[in-house]
Amino acid sequence: MDIRKIDKNFLQNAAVPEGTVFYGVTEPPFSLYGVFYEEKDRRFLRMPQKIADEVNSGVGVLCRNTSGGRVRFSTDSAHLTLAAKYGVLNKMTHMPLSGSGGFALCENTEKGEIFLCSLFPDFSEETGFVRTVPLAGKGMRNYTIYFPLYNDVNDLALGFVAGARVGKGAPYRPIKPVVYYGSSITQGGCASRADTDYQGFICKRNNVDFINLGFSGNAKGEERMADYLATLDCSALVIDYDHNAPSAAFLRETHCKFYERYRKQRPDTPVVFVSKPNYYRDPDAPERLKIIRETYKKALAAGDKVYFVHGKSLFGKEWMNCEVDGCHPTDYGFYRMSLAIGRALDRILR
């Protein structure tokens, strides 16, 4: 059964209106955040490929997923056409394509960032897709497009009505970006939209740029990653890799060392430690929590700018409504995470 033949509300418009003028988002006037474009291999990356390969092979692959990537622009066009190309469509059984392989379109208003729609591929669109959606037009408006959480993007072009004005969009607050380092939850699994991971929720509330360095199953506190994070000039670093430490013993071996290696190179950057949200499922959770707290207390005693977010506070009493598969959050789970982690970041950013 094809539900689109029964319910037209499931249809997406793949037609390109006559006279549409396309622009590549890597060129002016567009403003790109959270990712950069690698001309040599023609793809968007979250961190340099060479460094990612040096961290581990998984990070070498996942750095090509565009989680946290955004493009901002302004236009008075009456429609928007998005044309995306990628090498392969990453299909997942427990995460919809709207989140893993789709883009989210939001409008930036005086009242905040408002979600408009998702633009995502069908299962058969293995190497790219085109979608057209109406815009309000009638004067310049500011927009943000969020990139897919679990898919590569080789090329992205945006099309507008011929003669429409196109500008660089609204800027973020003049604050250095927040950097997030962690696991598949940090990368965005299993959000249903590209803008509903916890970083997206936080960004839409505080209007501060961010860089998502979540690496599904492959964030393990490597020294090379600590060194790379130290090269990023940021307002805060969130360390959230508890889930990817294969054991409490591994976490004990790496957690404080990872932090201290970063702190030696970045003595003044505030750091937020986060423990895993589904602590109630892991018999090692009390020991893991103790390890992270020990790092936090040691840093605090040294006078460092550090904060701690207990995993128990992330989902709270409604934990049973916050998971897709016993591990990864639903959108509601991510929203609750954004409140707890966001409170710590608010103390830093204000």
pLDDT, position 282? 80
Q: pTM of the prediction?
A: 0.96
pLDDT in tens, 74-84: 999 999 999 99
Instruction: Using pLDDT thresholds of 50, 70 and 90, give the confidence band for residue 1.
Output: low
Query: d(Cα 115, Cα 145) in Å, to the nearest integer?
Result: 10
- Note if the bond before 117 is cis, omega within 30 degrees: no
Residue 42 sits in the same domain as residue 185 = no
User: What CATH number does residue 128 fall under?
Assistant: 2.60.120.260
102 token code pair: 């789709």
Judge whether 201 and 258 are in contact, CB under 8 Å: no
Instruction: Using pLDDT thresholds of 50, 70 and 90, give the confidence band for residue 132.
Output: very high
Query: d(Cα 331, Cα 195) in Å, to the nearest integer?
Result: 10
Judge whether 69 and 80 are in contact, CB under 8 Å: no
User: What CATH number does residue 191 fall under?
Assistant: 3.40.50.1110
105: which strand partners? Answer: 117, 145
Q: Does 172 reside within a domain?
A: no
Residue 52 sits in the same domain as residue 196 = no
pLDDT, position 274? 97
pLDDT, position 185? 97
Residue 150 sits in the same domain as residue 25 = yes
Residue 143, helix vs strand vs coil? strand
pLDDT, position 45? 98
pLDDT, position 8? 61
pLDDT, position 3? 53
Cα distances from 111 to residues 108, 204, 205, 210, in angstroms, run 8, 11, 10, 20
pLDDT in tens, 234-261: 999 999 999 999 999 999 999 999 999 9
Helical ranges in 33-138 per DSSP H = 49-55, 57-62, 97-100
Q: Is the pLDDT confidence value at 10 over 70?
A: no
Domain edge (last residue) among 147, 167, 187: 167
Residue 339 sits in the same domain as residue 227 = yes
Residue 116, helix vs strand vs coil? strand
pLDDT, position 137? 81
- The secondary structure element, H or E, covering residue 130 is strand 128-134
Q: Is the pLDDT confidence value at 179 over 70?
A: yes
160: which strand partners? Answer: 21, 80
Q: Does 4 reside within a domain?
A: no
Q: Does 271 reside within a domain?
A: yes
pLDDT, position 138? 86
Q: Is the pLDDT confidence value at 330 over 70?
A: yes
Query: d(Cα 220, Cα 238) in Å, to the nearest integer?
Result: 14
Q: Does 138 reside within a domain?
A: yes
pLDDT, position 317? 85
Q: Is the pLDDT confidence value at 28 over 70?
A: yes
Domain edge (last residue) among 141, 167, 193: 167
Instruction: Using pLDDT thresholds of 50, 70 and 90, give the confidence band for residue 350.
Output: confident
Q: Does 239 reside within a domain?
A: yes
Instruction: Using pLDDT thresholds of 50, 70 and 90, give the confidence band for residue 190.
Output: very high
pLDDT in tens, 257-273: 999 999 999 999 999 99
Q: Does 14 reside within a domain?
A: no
Summarize the confidence of residues 101-105 as an average pLDDT: 98
Q: Does 7 reside within a domain?
A: no
Domain total of the chain:
2
Q: Is the pLDDT confidence value at 184 over 90?
A: yes
Query: d(Cα 257, Cα 251) in Å, to the nearest integer?
Result: 10
Residue 123 sits in the same domain as residue 226 = no
Residue 208 sits in the same domain as residue 328 = yes
Domain edge (last residue) among 167, 201, 219: 167
pLDDT, position 225? 98
pLDDT in tens, 35-45: 999 999 999 99
Residue 199 sits in the same domain as residue 343 = yes
In 3D space, the residue among 221, 223, 149 whose CA is nearest the CA of residue 186 turns out to be 149
In 3D space, the residue among 176, 199, 184, 181 whose CA is nearest the CA of residue 259 turns out to be 181
Residue 28 sits in the same domain as residue 95 = yes
pLDDT, position 198? 98
261 token code pair: 């290696």
Q: Is the pLDDT confidence value at 86 over 70?
A: yes
Q: Is the pLDDT confidence value at 116 over 90?
A: yes
Q: Does 9 reside within a domain?
A: no
Residue 205 sits in the same domain as residue 160 = no
Angle at which helices 198-206 and 331-349 pack, to 10 degrees?
Answer: 50
Structural domain containing residue 30: 19-167
Residue 182 sits in the same domain as residue 163 = no
Mean pLDDT of the residues in the chain: 95
In 3D space, the residue among 88, 209, 240, 202 whose CA is nearest the CA of residue 150 turns out to be 88
pLDDT in tens, 277-297: 887 778 888 999 999 999 999
Residue 154 sits in the same domain as residue 195 = no
CB neighbourhood size of 243 (10 A): 24
Summarize the confidence of residues 142-168 as an average pLDDT: 98
- Note if the bond before 283 is cis, omega within 30 degrees: no
Residue 27 sits in the same domain as residue 120 = yes
